[in-house]
Amino acid sequence: MTDHHAMPWDRPAPEREGLPSAWSLFPEELAAIGCPGSALETFRRLHRPWTWKGGAPDLGSGIRRWLEGVADLRLPRLAERQPSSDGSTKLALELADGRRIEAVHMPRRVRNPRVTYCISSQVGCAMGCTFCATGSMGILRNLQPGEILGQVLALMADLGPDRGHELTLVFMGMGEPLHNLDHLHRAIRLMCHPAGLGLGKNRITVSTSGLVSGIEKLSKLEPRPLLALSLNATTDEARSRTMPVNRVWNLARLRRALDDWAPRRGEKFCFEYVLLAGENDTEADAQRLADWLGDLRRGHNLNLIPMNEHAASAFREPGEDRVQQFSEWLKARGCFVTVRRSRGRDVQGACGQLVKES
C-alpha cells in the first residue's frame, strides 16, 4: 500500500463507508465486537486527547489494526481557523463526506484554563428562524454521535484545554440539537463517561428553539444536560412569524414544558432573547417576557443577545441605548439579565452566523 505511513483517519472515505465511528462505541460495545485487550483502556486512549501522540490516539499496533477493520478512525478535520480579536477562534470542520460545520473555541478571558466550545448538532438547520444565518441554509443532514463528539476531540487536540474538567460545552452552533436527539444524547453519554472526557452533565448546555416534543424526551434522559431556550419574541403572533416552531408549540405550551422539566438543585435554565430592532424591543415586550417567565425570573439566567447582522436577514441590531434600556426594563421587573455580546463577531463566528456553503 502506498499510503502505508498515512494515519487511518487521513484516508479517503469509500472504504470506511458503513463502519461506525470508533468514537461512537462504549467500552462494552468495543468488547462485544471483539476488542483484543482491554476495551476500557482502548476507550480511554481514544477519548482522552491529552494522552494522544501527534494529534492521534496512542493505540498499540495490534489494537489499531483491529480497530481499522471494524470502525472508522477519522475525526472531523480542522479545515479553517479564524482567530477573533476577542480571543475566541472560529473553526470550520470538515466531515468525512466533505460537508463542513462550524465550532467556536472561547477561552475564559483571564488566566483561567477553562474553555467553552460552541458546537454543532446538524449540518444546517430545518427550523427556519428568519433572523438566523444557519436557518437560511436549510438542513443538509444530522451529525452522527461520533461526529458530535469528534468536534470536541478535534478542538481539544489542537487548541486545548488539556483536561475534560476544564471544558464547558454549549450546543449553540449549527442546528437544532433536539431535532437530532438520539445522536445528541449518545454523544452526551459518551462525553460524560468517566473513562473518557468525564464531563459533568451540568457543564453541557443544549440550546433549543422550543421543540417541545424533544424537551419532554430529554427531560427524562440521564445524564440530563442543562437547557437553554431561545425565546426571541413575546406574543404568539410575532414568534410564529420569526420562529416557525411556535406554530406547533406556542409560548404557553413551551412554558408548561419547563414546569414539567422541574429543574433540580444546581440546574438553571438559560433564556436567550435575540434583540431585533423595531421587532421585539419595546417596554411592552419586556413586560410580556417577564410575565411569561413568571417564577423562572429568579434563579435562572436571561441573556439578551443583540442581533448579529448578516446578509441572509433584514433584521438589525438595536442601538446601544435601546439594548441597555431593555435590560433595565427587565431588571425593574425582577429578572436576572445579562447582555451577551456575542464573541467572534468580527469573524462571523457569533450566534446565528455559523453558515457555511459546502
Mind telling me the catalytic residues?
A: 102, 351
176 vs 285, beta carbon nearer ligand SAH: 176
Beta carbons of 167 and 152 less than 8 angstroms apart: yes
When asked if residue 176 is in the footprint of ligand SAH (CB under 6 A), the reply is yes
Identify what 274 binds: ligand SF4, ligand SAH, none; CB under 5 to 8 Å per kind: ligand SAH
125 or 289, CB closer to ligand SAH?
125
- 172 interacts with ligand SAH by CB under 6 A: yes
Segment near ligand SAH (CB under 6 A); pick from 43-51, 72-80, 93-101, 203-211: 203-211
**Amino acid at the residue 347:** V
Q: How far is CA 121 from the centre of its chain?
A: 6
Cβ 352 to ligand SF4, closest distance in Å? 6
Contact residues toward ligand SF4 (CB under 6 A) are 125, 127-129, 132, 134-135, 175-176, 209, 230, 352
91-106 burial by CB neighbour count: b if 16+ within 10 A, else e?
Answer: bbbbbbeebbbbbbbb
Least distance from C-beta 285 to ligand SF4, angstroms? 18
CB 51 within 8 A of CB 62: no
Residues recorded for the chain: 358
Q: Residue 301 belongs to what H/E stretch? A: strand 301-306
d(CA 240, CA 276): 15
Site for ligand SAH in 219-238 (CB under 6 A): 230, 232
User: Least CB distance from residue 145 to ligand SF4, whole Å?
Assistant: 19
351 binds ligand SAH (CB under 6 A): yes
- Find the distance separating the first CA and the last CA of the chain, reported in whole Å: 31
The rounded distance, in Å, linking the Cα atoms of 131 and 353 is: 10
Which CB, 42 or 308, lies closer to ligand SAH?
308
Among 95, 274, 290, 335, binds ligand SAH (CB under 6 A): 274
